Amino acid sequence: MKAIYLIGFMGSGKSSVLRLVAEKMAIPGLDTDQQIEQTTRQTIPEIFKSQGETVFREKETDTLMKMPKTDAVVATGGGIVESEVNRSWLKENVFVVYLHTSLAEIERRLGKDESRPLWKKHDKTALYERRMEKYRQTADSLIKTDGKSPEQVAEEIYQLIRKENTDMLGI
Ligand SMILES: Nc1ncnc2c1ncn2[C@@H]1O[C@H](COP(=O)(O)OP(=O)(O)O)[C@@H](O)[C@H]1O
Ligand SMILES: O=C(O)C1=C[C@@H](OP(=O)(O)O)[C@@H](O)[C@H](O)C1
Ligand SMILES: [Mg+2]
């Protein structure tokens, strides 16, 4: 089975839903941000602070290229779609699910979150709108998360993948 990759804006729930989908499907769940933190032994804010966003993006691409292409579910960082190389890799190799969440809902979820350097800093509306187009371009499927619990979102992904696989087998 093609690996399932979750993309979407910060706070769309990729990391939370990851664990639930992995459990339901009994496959490994991996998070690119967690992998980066493990290999560098630094937190994401530390990397941004000491080396800047460009270095973080290089590490993110290196990490993505080493991720499984089959039998796994992977949560990405919200900025993974900024790079053309990353977008092409995702489109070519894996099944991509875009978790779509409105900016108002994200504001409620993240509030004054301190663990996301770009959440603190940016003009959020511009960043959100610029990225939305890229999420849509890259995704095989879209799931709306507003008003749903992580468990409900995980169940939708599970049903979607089941359907994809049975359709593919012509059952
Ligand atoms: N469906 C949801 N409904 C409400 N809150 C959620 C939902 N999904 C995630 N959250 C909360 O939003 C915050 C960010 O979730 P997270 O999984 O880290 O998102 P991401 O990895 O996409 O940035 C966390 O505090 C989490 O508990
Ligand atoms: O949107 C972004 O550029 C980022 C999102 C974060 O991941 P989440 O989407 O899991 O919050 C993390 O990769 C880093 O802070 C940069
Ligand atoms: Mg995350």
What is the domain extent for residue 120?
4-169
Number of domains the chain is built from: 1
| pLDDT tens per residue, range 147-170 | 999 999 999 999 999 988 887 767
| pLDDT tens per residue, range 105-125 | 999 999 989 999 999 876 899
**If you measure from the C-alpha of residue 57 to the centroid of ligand 2, how many angstroms do you get, rounded to a whole number?**
10
Examine the predicted complex and report whether its ipTM is higher than 0.90.
Answer: yes
Task: For residue 46, give the ligand nearest its CA.
Answer: 2
Indicate the annotated binding residues for substrate.
Answer: 33, 57, 78, 131
**CB proximity list for 90: less than 8 A, separation 6 or greater:** 5, 7, 64, 80, 81, 96, 138
Domain of 43: which CATH number? Answer: 3.40.50.300
